Amino acid sequence: MAHNDMRPAHGGEAFGPPRHPGGVAGLVDLHAHTYVSDGTLSPTALVELAARKGLAALAVTDHDHLGGLVEARAAGERLGVEVVAGVELSITHPAGELHLLGYFVDPEEPRLAQTLQHLRAARGRRAEAMVERLRALGLDIAMDDVVAAAQGRAEALGRPHVARALMAKGHVASIQEAFDRWLADGRPAHVPKRKLTAAEGIALVHGAGGVAVLAHAVTLPEASREPIVRELAALGMDGIEVAHSKHAPEDRARLAAWADALGLLQSGGSDFHGDNKPDVELGSGKGGNVRVAPEWLEALRTRAARRRAEARSPT
Ligand code: AMP
Ligand code: FE
Ligand code: FE
Ligand code: ZN
C-alpha cells in the first residue's frame, strides 16, 4: 500500500479514516482533468499529486479524450495509486448542456474511440471559430496563442484554453473574466460545441463496457434537475455525481435522495483542472467540500462488471 507511505504529514493514520478533517488519505477522487484536455498538469504530475495526498484511486476524466490513461497508469503503478479509465462527454438537452462521465470504459473500443476523435476534431474547428469571432470583435489573438495556452497540445481544445490565451495576451485579468466577457453561453465570442444526445452518450459508454454517471447536476437549471435525473435513469444511466466542488451540502443531500429513490449509484470527485480552476483541490474540492469513500468506487466497479457480463450473455 504505497499510498499510505506517500500521505502528507497531516493526512491521518495509516489505517482507518484520516483524523485531520481536510485529509484525504485512503479516499478516492473520481473526476479530474489533465493537459490532455483542459487541465494544466500532465497525467504523471496529476498522479504524483494524488499520491502526495494519499489518494487510493483517481479517475482521469478528460473531456472527449482517453489519451492520458497510459501515462497516468504507469505513474499509478509506480506510486501505488489506482487509475480508473474515465471520460467526460458533453450532452445536448433542451434544458441546457449537461456532462456525462463514463467510468471503466475500454479505450480501444472502436465506436467510442472513433466518436471521441470526431468530437475532438469538432473542438478544433470550434476553437478556430472562437478566435475568428474574437478577432472580428477587435481583439489581437491567434490560433497559435490558444495552442500555446494548451501547452502545445491541440487535441481537445476548449474554452479554458481560449480564456488562458486571452489572459496571456492581456485582454482579461482572469479565466473567469474571459468567460464572463466573451466565452460564456450568450456572450459575444461563444460558439456552440458539437454534443451527443443523452441516449447516444449512455449507449456509447455502455458499448465500451463502462458505467454512465451524470456530472455536476447543479450546472443545470434547478427546476430541470430532478426530471433530467429521472429521464437519464430511464435511459439506463448508472449513477449521479453527488459530491462535487460545485455542490453545497443541500445539493448533495438532494442528489443522494434522488439516487436512492431511483436505484442509482453515487459518485464524487473534485473536477480538478490545475491552474485552470485554481480554487479546486485534487481529492478535497473547494475548501474541503469533497470527500469520496472507496466504497463508491467499488459499487461502480461492480456495476460495470455486471454490465459487461450481461453484454456477453444476453438473456
Ligand atoms: P468547453 O468544453 O470548451 O465548452 O469548456 C468547458 C469548460 O469551461 C469546463 O471545464 C467548465 O468548467 C468551464 N466553464 C464553462 N462555463 C464557464 C463559466 N461560465 N465560467 C468559468 N468556467 C466555465
Ligand atoms: Fe473542463
Ligand atoms: Fe464538466
Ligand atoms: Zn470535468
Residues in contact with 312: Cβ distance below 8 Å, sequence separation at least 6, in sequence order: none
CA nearest neighbour of 52 among 86, 21, 29, 35: 29
**What is the Å distance from ligand 1's center to 249 Cα?**
23
Query: Which ligand gives the minimal distance to the CA of 92?
Result: 1
Convert 66-82 into a string of H (helix), E (strand) and C (coil).
CCCHHHHHHHHHHHCCE
Grid coordinates of 265: 449509484
Q: Check if 158 has its Cβ closer than 6 Å to any atom of ligand 1.
A: yes
- Taking only the tens place, the pLDDT of each residue in 255-296 is 999 999 999 999 999 999 999 999 999 999 999 999 999 999
- Taking only the tens place, the pLDDT of each residue in 65-100 is 999 999 999 999 999 999 999 999 999 999 999 999
The answer, yes or no, to whether residue 20 has pLDDT greater than 90, is: no
Grid coordinates of 44: 504523471
The confidence score (pLDDT) of residue 9 equals 39
Convert 12-52 into a string of H (helix), E (strand) and C (coil).
CCCCCCCCCCCCCCCCEEEEECCCCCCCCCCHHHHHHHHHH
Chain centroid to CA 291 = 16
Q: Check if 122 has its Cβ closer than 6 Å to any atom of ligand 1.
A: no
Chain centroid to CA 293 = 18
Q: Check if 176 has its Cβ closer than 6 Å to any atom of ligand 1.
A: yes
Residues in contact with 292: Cβ distance below 8 Å, sequence separation at least 6, in sequence order: 27, 28, 29, 30, 243, 267, 268, 269
Q: Which of 123, 125, 155, 159 to mutate to test the pocket of ligand 1 (most atoms within 8 A of CB)?
A: 159
CB atoms inside a 10 Å sphere around CB 107: 15
The answer, yes or no, to whether residue 13 has pLDDT greater than 50, is: no
Query: Which ligand gives the minimal distance to the CA of 272?
Result: 4
Q: Given CA atoms 128, 130, 133, 135 in this order, what sign does their dihedral have?
A: negative
* Cα–Cα distance for residue pair 151/165, rounded to 1 Å: 11
Residues with CB under 5 A from ligand 3 (ion): 99, 215
Least confident of 53-57, 143-147, 197-201, 308-312: 308-312
Grid coordinates of 235: 435511459
Mean pLDDT of the chain: 93
The confidence score (pLDDT) of residue 313 equals 85
Residues above pLDDT 90, as percent of the chain: 90
pLDDT band at 2 (very low <50, low <70, confident <90, very high): very low
DSSP class of residue 277? S
